[in-house]
Amino acid sequence: MTTASLSSSNAPGPIQRHIRLLSACVSDHEARVREVLSEEPWSSPADRDALRQALVKVATKGSLKLLRLLLEHGADVHPRRENELAPLFKAAEAGHLPVVAELLAHGADPNWRGRNGQTALFPACVRGHDAVVRALLDGGADPDGGRNEKGKPGDKDGKTPLLFLASEKRGRWSVKTVRLLLQRDIDMDPKDSLGRTPLHWTAKNGYLDFASALLSGEFGKRADVNAPQNRGKTALHLAAEHNQVDFVELLLGHGACPDAASDGRWTPLHNASEKGHHVIVKKLLAAGANVNAELSNRMTPLHWAAFNGHEEVVRLLLERPETNLSVKDQFERTALLCAAERYHKELVHLLSPARAADRLSEEAREASKQFRATVVDFGDFQERKFLKGDVREKKKQLVFKPTVYELLYGWEDTEKKKPKVPILTKNVKWEPHFRWIHLPANNIAWVETLLAKSFVEGGFRDVEGFKALEKSFDQEHRGAFAHDTFMRSHCRRVPSRRTENGDLSLGVVTEQTTDINGQASQAGAESIITDTSENSTVKADTRKKGKSEQIAERHPTSAKRKKGDPGNPPGTKEAKLGIRQPSFASTAAFRQLVNNGKMVLFMPFLHYETHEERLKMSETIRKARKGGLLPQNASRDELLVHAYIDQLHPRRTLDQFLYHGIDTTHRDNDQVVWRYCDKHGFEPKKVFMVDQLWMWILGGDTVVTCFPQRWDQPKQDPLNVVDGIVEETNAKTRPPIQSVYDLALLITGRAAGMFDRHRFDEQQYQFLDMFESSIGNVTDKESQLFRKFHKASQRSTQWLERHRHGSDNDNIEHEFSDDLLNIHQETQLLAEIKDIQDELNILCNILDSQIIVLEDFQKGIVEELSLEGSRKTTDAVVKDIKRRFEEQQRMIWVHRNDIERMNNQAAGISHGLTNLLDLKQKHSNALEARFAREQAISAAKQGQTIMVFTIVTIVFLPMSFIASFFSINFADWGDGLTIGYGSKYMFGIGLAISFVFVAMAFLVHDISDAWKALIRGTRTYADCLSRKTQSLPSENATPPDAVSLRTLRTIKPGTAGAASTTAYRWAAEDMDWKRRGLEGPDGGYSRLSRDRDRYGHARFGGMSPLRYGGRKLSIGSGRGTPWARPSLDGRRGVSEDLERGRVL
């Protein structure tokens, strides 16, 4: 309602009066208010509404007199409509303490909630009206801001006065206001819709005094310093994120957890590192925050600091010795790569592992200093050797052996970032064409440091290429044993990165012929002149060279010899030495490919170790894995194992290579090579070992290899791989090494052919010959054992002949029986040949792995060389590469065929030994059968002898009894017995009794069977008679057999009443024959003749209890079909023939 409307004279009288009252209250005109109130009674509802509105106006103005006047006239202190405000609320908001006190005295509700859910305590606190706040609290105001319909405290957003103060911008309130609230029974950790507590908001807004009051516990309560919000953030997260240094100190001082994790596992250190708040990072680290804490995407605080370029934070994190620089996030990025992606140059150099020498343990530092790497540079160097006269030859290779520490961690000038041993050739002062770097151990820590150093030296632009190189370590296999750590056979090509200035000219390239002694040269020589300077007077060739032309320059084809006299013309050697053509690696086209394609190769190869040194290595590894102490005066190998036990891939035996998941200690001590050396007295005894060749080709100028050396590597080792490769690069009998691919082919060829039997003349290094000799030895022993078996078989035959004729010789028997029954030598040889087969199969597996890897390696090189351009210029180079690979493959297949041949020979020997054991077993079985037969005959004879003694005993025992009876001096005998009288009774009775019992001794089994049959037949006959008597029919009744026969004949065949048509017919016929057999005296004969007709032979019928041919006979059968039980079975008493369809 506008002012114009209020002063309208057209309004009704009551409304006019209401308007005047409100106007007087607003203007604070006491006299006019009294005048208006005294005009008429204010009793109507409209009047009461006007008084209530006027009371709100007066409360807002703070006029205590007018307030009391209105209250005297019945003004209500409670609002009645939703759009109205309580007078107490407006008075508290304005800070009018007397008005507030008066309203409270008149019953105003201190917990009245407005439309926003706030009580009068909210505005009083926000505006800093401490006296009003105290009055409200004393008047019963809820310090938590009242309760809504659901019983929850706070306003509609869930904020209590305490939370509301913390979340709003600082106004006129002070910490005294907060203390007034804290003195009451208040919730210290209420949460709003975001889940934030007052402590969260104070941390966000920086209200340090407010937070101090919350955490002081002065009034018996303390806020939860680690309370999380909805997303898990604590107050420390917010303070660290918003760079509240003092607040962080306060929270940490009151026990805040520095490693509290929110959603995504963010810690306060992550928040501070991401924002670059180095002071807070320092305080968090001092409080023990986990510097390697990982987010759900595996990013650490170092990742975020490097990604956002916060150098001071990175330095603080690197000061912690436990900081792990090798952690990778889910995008396979280390902190180094995060800095490289944003091209933070200083941070890249700072995070390079090559700068982390101070983070190495003492053992690792000492091991790195004692092991020496091999660095070979290839090119045309200024150092000259004068051969004769003016003839000069440039040196092609430079070989030096820095320590691994110097190679990886050595710096000449840290500030200028100048390493002692550069990785890339562009940083070498003598500018080699390409470089080979070899590390003497399969140590992942060393390799990762070297690759990172090369990445940094190359300008850290090819991030994806470097990530691909690091991802190659995913081929690592780790298990429970030390020998279960190895790289799977693998070869991969990393495609080249397109350079940003790909259209740049490769420089001036011209071709000219060289005239020797005023004549044309015999072979055309290319002279490549490169000049890209601005003052060059040579006209530049602006045409872009194709990749095929670059390859052709890199691998020039040899010119055909022109016609003429054989031999070189005079001065050819001196001319060639004086104007030696530079290799392709020195050209601008080659330098253009320096940072291009990369290749990775992991391949197993064979080497050897002495048995004693292998035992030392195994024992050192065992102690290091158990955390044993490093011995005093430890060797460099012991230092290496103890320092890098988790990153080191140790050498493996043949059995450890194949059976990497089991303990092979026993198998390792019984290798074929070791047995051969032990047998022939070769010292020291040797064993086959499986090493790993790791190789990286970095662009076109660097080859990096890793493979282990022997334990306590001697200086003079004829099978030293590194020395062999260096010697072969200097060999005059082979073409010179022109590129990194030539060098890579040389290295793989040397590794794949390390056990070539034709390379050395010393027998103790001819490992394949050792296998062949061992197989031959087993073959010879197998032949001897077969001949021995043959002789033993002959002796057994002779013994049997003599034994048959009664001329036994126990010594001969024992001799041949021992030879036939003893299989110890055969089983020993069989175990030996199985070991040989097993190791030959392992060698085949290694060679197969080499073949597969080298095929992939060939494809990768061919793909790298087959760039855009004419195939005519690239085919020649690719053809040469393929030819060299075919030579390597052919050499490997030669060895593999030899191993396969020996394996087949060993399989034949194993089969022969198995057959020999089988023959011995069969021969032993035959002898045992013969001996058993003879023992059976002997037992029969003994049985007959026992029978004789039994008969004699039976005969004489009765007579002895009678004679003893007659010898008793009875009075009845009178004067004595005569011989005739005694003999009559003694022999008569004794012989009679003896005859009976002798007959029973011979017929005891027949008597037993007859007795059982008699009892069974008697019981069956008695049962049949009993049944027949009980079932006699009446005069008019049908006989049972007739009923049964009629019933059977009326049953339809094939129904449930009959099993089948055939069974039905034979059942009826059997019932008929049965009936007739029982009715007449000739029933048994009839049955017999009936059975003869059916079966073709006589069968007993009727009640016969006898046995026929060992089979119990029964009455009736169905067409030769045997039934469940015999018909005369006493246990059942009733035949089950014909499926219980017949009653006997």
pLDDT tens digits along 1026-1044: 887 776 555 554 454 444 4
* Selection from 751, 736, 739, 657 nearest residue 705 by Cα: 751
pLDDT digits (tens, 9 = 90+) for 882-909: 898 999 999 999 889 999 999 999 898 8
Give the residue-averaged pLDDT of 198-213: 92
Direct distance between the N- and C-terminal alpha carbons of the chain, in angstroms, rounded to an integer = 125
Residues near 219 by beta carbon (within 8 Å), at least 6 away in sequence = 179, 182, 183
| Predicted pLDDT at 817 | 63
Cα 505 from Cα 487, distance rounded (Å): 42
How far apart are alpha carbons 508 and 510 in whole angstroms? 6
Q: Does the structure show a pLDDT above 80 at 290?
A: yes
Whether the Cβ atoms of residue 200 and residue 233 lie closer than 8 Å to each other: yes
Angstrom distance (rounded) from CA 59 to CA 67: 7
Residue 1135 has pLDDT above 50, yes or no: no
- Please check the confidence at residue 277 and state whether its pLDDT lies above 70: yes
CA 104/CA 89 separation, integer angstroms? 11
Do 789 and 915 form a contact (C-beta atoms < 8 A)?
no
pLDDT for the residue numbered 218: 85
Q: How confident is the model at residue 915 (pLDDT cuts 50, 70, 90)?
A: confident
The string of pLDDT tens digits covering residues 626-663 is: 988 888 889 999 999 999 999 999 999 999 999 988 98
pLDDT of residue 68: 85
Tens digits of per-residue pLDDT, 263-274?
999 999 999 999
Nearest to 1073 by CA among 1055, 1092, 1053: 1092
For the chain, the average pLDDT equals: 77
Task: Give per-residue burial for 376-401: e unless 16+ CB within 10 Å, then b.
Answer: bbbbbbeeeeeeeeeeeeeebbbeee
Average pLDDT over residues 103-125: 89
More confident position, 500 or 931? 931
pLDDT at 374: 95
In this prediction, residue 621 has a pLDDT band, given cuts at 50, 70 and 90, of: very high
Mean pLDDT of 1076-1100: 44
Residue 216 pLDDT > 80: yes
User: What is the mean predicted confidence (pLDDT) over 178-187?
Assistant: 89
**Count of residues for the chain?**
1144
Question: pLDDT, tens digit, for every residue of 769-807?
Answer: 888 888 888 888 888 888 887 787 777 777 767 666 655
CB 225 within 8 A of CB 255: yes
Cα–Cα distance for residue pair 67/103, rounded to 1 Å: 9
- Assign 173 to helix, strand or coil: coil
pLDDT of residue 759: 54
Confidence of residue 65 (pLDDT cuts 50, 70, 90): confident
Give the CATH H-level superfamily of domain 225-351. Ankyrin repeat-containing domain (1.25.40.20)
Give residue-wise pLDDT tens across range 1099-1115: 444 444 333 344 343 33
Residue 93 sits at the vertex; the CA angle it makes with 89 and 97, to the nearest 5 degrees, is 90
Q: What is the mean pLDDT of residues 582-597?
A: 48
Q: How many CB atoms lie within 10 A of CB 343?
A: 13
Alpha helix ranges (H) inside 805-823: 810-821
Instruction: Write down the pLDDT at residue 83.
Output: 79
Q: Kindly indicate the confidence band of residue 135, based on its pLDDT and cuts at 50, 70 and 90.
A: very high
Q: Does residue 239 carry a pLDDT above 90?
A: yes
Q: What is the pLDDT of residue 794?
A: 76
For the record, the structure tokens of 200 come out as 């969260």
Does position 1124 have pLDDT exceeding 60, yes or no? no
- Over residues 173-192, mean pLDDT: 89
Report which of residues 27 and 858 the model is more confident about.
858
pLDDT band at 13 (very low <50, low <70, confident <90, very high): low
Average pLDDT, integer, range 292-310: 95
For residue 228 the two structure tokens come to 């999380």
Residue 478: both structure tokens together: 């780790």
* Alpha-helical runs (H) found in 290-416: 301-307, 311-318, 335-341, 345-351, 362-370, 404-409
* Average pLDDT value for residue range 360-369: 94
Split at pLDDT 50, 70, 90, the class of 816 is low
Q: Rounded to an integer, what distance in angstroms lies between the CA atom of residue 764 and that of residue 683? A: 9
| 535-569 pLDDT per residue, tens | 333 333 444 445 445 444 444 444 444 444 444 44
Chain centroid offset of residue 672 CA: 33
Element (H, E) at 605: strand 598-610
Exposure string of 426-442, with b = 16+ CB inside 10 Å and e = fewer, is: eebeeebbbbbbbbbbb
Task: Over range 977-1004, report the average pLDDT.
Answer: 80
Closest residue by Cα to residue 1024 from 942, 906, 1127, 877: 1127
Q: Which of 142-146, 313-317, 535-539 has the lowest mean pLDDT?
A: 535-539
Q: Enumerate the domain spans of the chain.
A: 225-351, 356-500+600-758, 766-921, 1036-1140
- Classify residue 880 by burial, with Cβ atoms within 10 Å: 0-12, 13-18, 19+: middle
pLDDT of residue 241: 93
Provide the pLDDT for residue 1056.
43
Given a contact cutoff of 8 angstroms between Cβ atoms, the answer to whether 1067 and 1118 are in contact is yes
Q: pTM of the predicted model, to two decimals?
A: 0.69
Does pLDDT of 159 surpass 80?
yes
Measured CA to CA in angstroms, residue 514 lies from 522, 565, 575 at distances of 9, 21, 10
Q: What is the Cα–Cα distance from 90 to 97, expressed in whole angstroms? A: 11
- In this structure, are residues 114 and 82 in contact, taking their beta carbons and an 8 Å threshold? no
| Beta strands at 434-439 and 418-419: parallel, antiparallel or unpaired | unpaired
